[in-house]
């Protein structure tokens, strides 16, 4: 079995590196446990990336997990309603692009879960994931596909928005609780999905609490469902758990000021929030919307504040008109951000990657002018542990699709 898995990995590596099509005249042959790649002369010697498309030559990507709507009689009839089914088919291209991003996410995280080990630096963890996403996306145009937002690798009491900046020396430890949160986008359709990586089994009750709470949120969500009702269901499940650490019992608390959200094209936070506690918000989910259902549990206070050096940034879509930019360097940096990221979140390492140098002063000016927003790490009390699970759901006219669902979670 092991040799078969290794063989599959080798074949996948070959396919990712070079597409086998008629123009390149490449052949991949398998003999025993070896993979041989035969190359013929090519008109263009430039190496191309095949990406995930190599595994789906018809361009149709796997559907996620389907769940039927509950509640009103209208919702119960949706799955057989001809008009709703027609509307659903009209959006097939959009659904398929979400599914492509979800398939990339599943493959990348499957490899990450197997390969991430204590002793790796946080830069190694984050960049191995990000480089895999880019390879599977098969495009060098970051606005057509690739990272939907930087790979978060928040540790222990840090719940979200930590990704290492250049020079970060933090090393992953056996007793760490790491939230791995990364996005994949295809033409602006973003998959937002996360899990918690641990090596010590003592954290399992914490992870189980958050995983079950997220699944409860997904099950409760749907067209015409009120946000507060989702939060109430999540809170009831999450806070029924407790975890024993070093002989002391800790109740698992919802991190009440972290929430899920809707997703719009090229916009990771679309304006609606999905609470993980009952909060009285009567805003409803609507047909055709996309949501990231995410929950966070903590052994601490269940409340986060800003803490640590900022790494995450994003263009402000509500920026003041004609905001003054005094430095020419800041103007050029803004142009580079628009060209490479648009309204997608980015981090300092991404600026390094596109060749920007000595940009901190200019970046700070853009933030002060309100053109760029900062998103520093979010931390609970030091010494506690936090966990996260998240999926992207699509509210089809007929049913809801947990598009990022995998065999892992």
Pairing state between β 305-306 and 378-379: antiparallel
Q: Are 276 and 256 in contact (CB under 8 A)?
A: yes
Kindly provide the residue ranges of all beta strands, DSSP E only, lying in 142-239, ordered along the sequence. Answer: 145-155, 158-160, 178-186, 189-197
Confirm whether 185 is a catalytic residue: no
**Catalytic pick from 65, 229, 269, 375?**
269
192 assigned to a ligand binding site? yes
CA atoms of 356 and 367, how far apart (whole Å):
17
Question: Which residue out of 294, 356, 380, 401 is catalytically annotated?
Answer: 294
Does the annotation flag 407 for ligand binding?
no
Selected catalytic residue, list 390, 391, 396, 401:
390
Dihedral through CA 112, CA 116, CA 122, CA 128, nearest 10? -40
Please give the full DSSP string across 38-93, using - where no structure is assigned. E----S--S----GGGGG-TTS-----EEE---SSHHHHHTTT-HHHHHHHHHTHH
Name the residue among 293, 181, 302 with its Cα closest to residue 230: 293
Indicate which residue of 88, 130, 181, 380 is catalytic: 181
269 has catalytic annotation? yes
269 belongs to an annotated ligand binding site? yes
- Reply yes or no on whether 312 is catalytic: no
Cα 292 to Cα 148: distance, rounded to the nearest angstrom: 13
Residue 306 in marked binding region: no
| 261 CA to centre of own chain | 13
- Which entry of 105, 261, 391, 396 is annotated as an active-site residue? 261
391 labeled binding residue: no
CA angle 190, 192, 197 (to 5 degrees): 150
Helix axes 92-115, 122-137, angle to 10 degrees: 140
Provide φ and ψ at 290, rounded to 5°.
Answer: -115, 135
N- to C-terminal Cα separation, the chain? 23
Note if 390 is an active site residue.
yes
Instruction: Considering the candidates 176, 192, 235, 380, report the single residue annotated as catalytic.
Output: 192
Give the Cα separation of 193 and 389 in Å (integer): 8
- Helical (H) or strand (E) element with 111: helix 92-115
Alpha-carbon gap, residue 138 to 86, rounded angstroms: 32
Residues assigned a catalytic role: 181, 192, 261, 269, 294, 390
Indicate the annotated binding residues for a divalent metal cation.
181, 192, 261, 294, 390
Indicate the annotated binding residues for substrate.
161, 269
């Amino acid at each position: 079995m092991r040799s078969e898995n290794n063989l599959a990995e080798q074949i996948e590596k070959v396919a990712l590196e070079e597409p086998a099509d008629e123009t390149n005249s490449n052949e991949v042959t398998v003999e025993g446990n070896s993979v041989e790649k035969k190359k013929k002369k090519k008109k263009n010697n430039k190496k191309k990336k095949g990406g995930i498309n190599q595994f789906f030559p018809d361009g149709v990507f796997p559907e996620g997990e389907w769940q039927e709507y509950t509640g009103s009689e209208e919702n119960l009839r949706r799955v057989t309603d001809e008009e709703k089914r027609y509307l659903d088919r009209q959006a097939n291209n959009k659904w398929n692009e979400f599914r492509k991003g979800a398939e990339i996410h599943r493959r990348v995280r499957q490899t990450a879960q197997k390969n991430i080990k204590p002793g790796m630096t946080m830069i190694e963890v984050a960049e191995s994931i990000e480089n895999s996403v880019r390879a599977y996306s098969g495009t060098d145009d970051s606005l057509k596909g690739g990272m939907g937002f930087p790979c978060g690798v928040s540790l222990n009491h840090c719940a979200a928005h930590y990704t290492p900046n250049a020079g970060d020396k933090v090393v992953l430890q056996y007793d760490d609780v790491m939230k791995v949160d990364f996005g994949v986008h295809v033409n602006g359709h973003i998959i937002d999905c996360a899990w918690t990586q641990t090596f010590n089994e003592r954290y399992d009750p914490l992870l189980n609490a958050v995983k079950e709470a997220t699944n409860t949120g997904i099950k409760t969500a749907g067209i015409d469902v009120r946000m507060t009702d989702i939060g109430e269901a999540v809170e009831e499940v999450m806070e029924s758990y407790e975890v024993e650490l070093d002989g002391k019992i800790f109740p698992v608390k919802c991190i009440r000021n972290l929430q899920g959200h809707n997703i719009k094209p090229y916009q990771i936070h679309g304006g609606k929030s999905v609470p993980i506690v009952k909060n009285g918000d009567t805003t409803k989910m609507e047909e055709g919307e996309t949501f990231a259902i995410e929950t966070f549990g903590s052994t601490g206070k269940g409340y986060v504040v800003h803490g640590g050096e900022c790494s995450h940034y994003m263009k402000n879509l509500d920026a003041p008109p004609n905001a003054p930019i005094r430095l020419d360097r800041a103007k050029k940096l803004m142009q580079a951000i628009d060209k490479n990221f648009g309204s997608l979140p980015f981090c300092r390492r991404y600026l390094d990657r596109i060749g920007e140098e000595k940009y901190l002063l200019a970046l700070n000016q853009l933030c002060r002018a309100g053109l760029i927003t900062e998103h520093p790490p979010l931390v609970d009390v030091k010494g506690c542990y936090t966990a996260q699970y998240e999926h992207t759901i699509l509210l089809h006219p007929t049913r809801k699709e947990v598009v990022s669902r995998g065999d892992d979670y």
